Structure 1
Amino acid sequence: MVGLLGATAGGLLLGVVGVLAAASVIAAVLRARMGARNPELIGNLVQRIGAWWAMVAVLAAVLALGETATLLLFLVLTWLSLREFLTISPTGRADHRTLVWLFFVVTPLHYWFVWEHWYGMFSVFIPVYAFLFLPVRAALAGRTEGFLRRAAAVQWAAMVCVYAVSHIPAVLQLPVAMEHGRHVAEGSAPGSGGEAGALLLLFLLLVVQGSDVFQYVWGKTLGRRPIAPSVSPNKTWEGFVGGVLTATALGAALSFLTPFPWWVAALFAFVSCLLGFGGGLVMSAIKRDRGIKDFGSLIPGHGGIMDRIDSLVFAAPVFFHLVRFFYA
């Protein structure tokens, strides 16, 4: 496997490490000064920063190992997010075989298409073939009670947890398509994504995850008017506008990671942040509907896998196809 971390990507990750180190120092100071007065808040902050250290370390490790390792990581994340999503879904014993197909056939096959750089099948396999097959398999079980609800939950799980998540590592392949043209790139060798792909992936991750952080900060400092109080009372207009604009500026500043001029990088960042906000809002609505606070507890201070990547699952597919359409 060919590693994806060159000097630029490595330097950027070192910069992220520097930010985390500063955050850890600030958290230690806050714990010493305010820990006794507000232990829950400070404890959650420390947990969140610790989880970010672990997530950055894992991402750096798989990028250093190459595209195949990165795809395997996101395959595992897909399985974990599927488990979280379906655990709260209205599926039952009659859907067991349908879920076996989704977990152990549809998902690995879809990721194989991504690994093969087979763009045509990667794009249509789940929205067309799996979309039609899964409800047929569910109908064969013979249970009609709640069928529409159960089938819709499985379809949503396939689209969000498999199809949308897989677009995140698929970003690694975009520079190959840009360099050689979309038709040539569709037959490019598995694992041929290089450092340029890693830089584009880091751009997407930093902008979308940065938008989440900036929206939180702006919301806590200036937030007054909630956007959808019955869905997510902590999301405010002030936090949304401040966070999206700040992350858009970050995208313009990080244009050196991309093959785009700064204004295109800013535009793609803006669109990605809007979609990221939409993803977080939709997932909050799902959690409210199911009466839960988080999708899981795997990531300390953050919740489950889907709690951490809810913004990316909406942003990544649109970012991927915008870049491929206009630049490949």
Structure 2
Amino acid sequence: MGGARNCFGHDLFDLEYFYSNSESPESMNKLISSWGMNAELQWVIFIILCILVVSSTAWFILGRLKPSKLATELQVRTRSWWVMCACFIVTTLVHPLVTVLGLMYLSYALLREMYPLLKLDARERNVVLVCYATVPIQYGLAYFGMKTLFLAFIPVFMFVFIPFLLVVRGETKGIVRSISLMPYSLVAWVYGMSHLALLFQLPESAGSTAGPQGLLLYLIFLVGMNDVLQFAWGKILGRRPVLPTVSPNKTWEGLIGGVLSITLIAVAMRFLTPLNVWQAAIVGFVTAIAGFMGDAIASGIKRDIGIKNSGHAIPGHGGYLDRLDGFSAAAAPFFHLIFFFCYS
């Protein structure tokens, strides 16, 4: 059949290719047996280290020349970035199982951080245990390449099962809030994040030598820089707030500047992926917008609860949600765009 083709030359409507590569355990696990770090990954790590070294040096000099609360905060935040980048790089490059376990821990940490803040009663806390139990199941489905169950487990089965458990307890007071928050937390912080584990089950491609590690580092770099650049553009040019009652520090100038910058960075860093220029631009644009949306949603949740930060696990940044809100929101769109452009 003639027609549109993806970046590997496969017909977009070639159903035989789709089914033979999306569900076969043999093809889905090829990458696990060929693990290693190539030149593209080394370049990205080098770039990240250069950014951290320059930032650390700049904030150290600023603190010496003009001591201030801002300079101290920037130094603390940069030290935390060193730790976070080291953790991400190590868990990404060591072995797929280590990566999946690391991502699984982050999903668990997000749930563990937020549920106590919701002030749930004893019966709701029993349902929370079921929510925790979904984390290893969801990541197990991703690791073993069980794509159909992976896509349906939380948004189909748990979406019904969790509200049913809340109804069965016999107390309906506050049930609307619980039914809204618990399934949302699973979709946002478990289902969304677990798409990154599914990256390691994509078939090998002739268009990229960096493999799933490259795709994961690509997303980590884009989301991390998105936070930094939207903040920086907002500080430099920010005048008009996007969400004045939810997050007054987020401005249109910061949003637009960050989105355009990330779009260009996505194109420049596409050597980590099998994407062409326009595909990389679309992925970068969507990732930046999704990251902003995730950040805004988290800000709304925290404002409703009455807190500024979700925790204190990451010095200078706050809690896990404060750092991973955009990451968890961008993960699923990123995966599906990669799959659509290159594997469908």
> Is the pair's TM-score, using the shorter chain for normalization, greater than 0.5?
yes
Q: CA deviation at 1:295?
A: 1.0
**Worse-matched range after superposition: 132-141 or 221-230:** 132-141
1:34 maps to 66
- The question of whether the paired residues in 2 share the 8 Å contact of 1:295 and 1:303 is answered with yes
1:15 to 27, 32, 47: 47
Task: Give the match's secondary structure for 2:247.
Answer: coil
1:6 to 31, 38, 48: 38
TM-score (norm 1): 0.90
Q: Following the alignment from structure 1 to structure 2, what is the Cα–Cα distance between the partners of residues 326 and 11?
A: 24
1:24 to 46, 56, 76: 56
Q: Residues 177, 145 of structure 1: CA spacing in aligned structure 2 closer, same or farther, 3 A cutoff?
A: farther
1:260 to 275, 284, 297: 275
Counterpart mapping for 1:279-318 below 5 A: 279-318=294-333
Pairs aligned (count): 311
Residue 170 of structure 1 aligns with an amino acid whose one-letter code is L
Considering only aligned residues, what root-mean-square deviation do their CA atoms show, in Å?
Answer: 1.9
Task: Give the match's secondary structure for 1:299.
Answer: coil
2:11 maps to none
Q: Residues 131, 26 of structure 1: CA spacing in aligned structure 2 closer, same or farther, 3 A cutoff?
A: same
Q: Following the alignment from structure 1 to structure 2, what is the Cα–Cα distance between the partners of residues 178 and 274?
A: 27
Q: CA deviation at 1:252?
A: 0.8
Give deviations 1:151-195, integer Å, cap 9, x for gaps: 221111111111111123323333x2757xxxxxxxxxxxxxx94
1:112 to 140, 153, 157: 140
- The question of whether the paired residues in 2 share the 8 Å contact of 1:178 and 1:324 is answered with no
1:84 to 102, 113, 123: 113
Give deviations 1:207-258, integer Å, cap 9, x for gaps: 1221111111111011111111111111111111111101100011111111
Q: Does 1:63 align with 2:92?
A: yes
Task: Give the match's secondary structure for 1:320.
Answer: helix
Task: Give the match's secondary structure for 1:303.
Answer: coil
2:180 maps to 152
Counterpart mapping for 1:209-224 below 5 A: 209-224=224-239
Q: CA deviation at 1:70?
A: 0.5
Q: Following the alignment from structure 1 to structure 2, what is the Cα–Cα distance between the partners of residues 222 and 206?
A: 23
Unaligned runs of 5+ in 1: 180-193
- The question of whether the paired residues in 1 share the 8 Å contact of 2:100 and 2:197 is answered with yes
- The question of whether the paired residues in 1 share the 8 Å contact of 2:210 and 2:272 is answered with no
TM-score (norm 2): 0.86
Q: CA deviation at 1:7?
A: 2.6
Aligned residues with identical type, % of pairs: 35
Off by >4 Å, runs of 4+ in structure 1: 1-4
2:194 maps to 166
Q: Following the alignment from structure 2 to structure 1, what is the Cα–Cα distance between the partners of residues 204 and 111?
A: 29
- The question of whether the paired residues in 1 share the 8 Å contact of 2:92 and 2:98 is answered with yes
Q: Does 1:141 align with 2:169?
A: yes
Unaligned runs of 5+ in 2: 1-31
Q: Following the alignment from structure 1 to structure 2, what is the Cα–Cα distance between the partners of residues 168 and 226?
A: 32
Q: Following the alignment from structure 1 to structure 2, what is the Cα–Cα distance between the partners of residues 4 and 142?
A: 54
Residue 22 of structure 1 aligns with an amino acid whose one-letter code is V
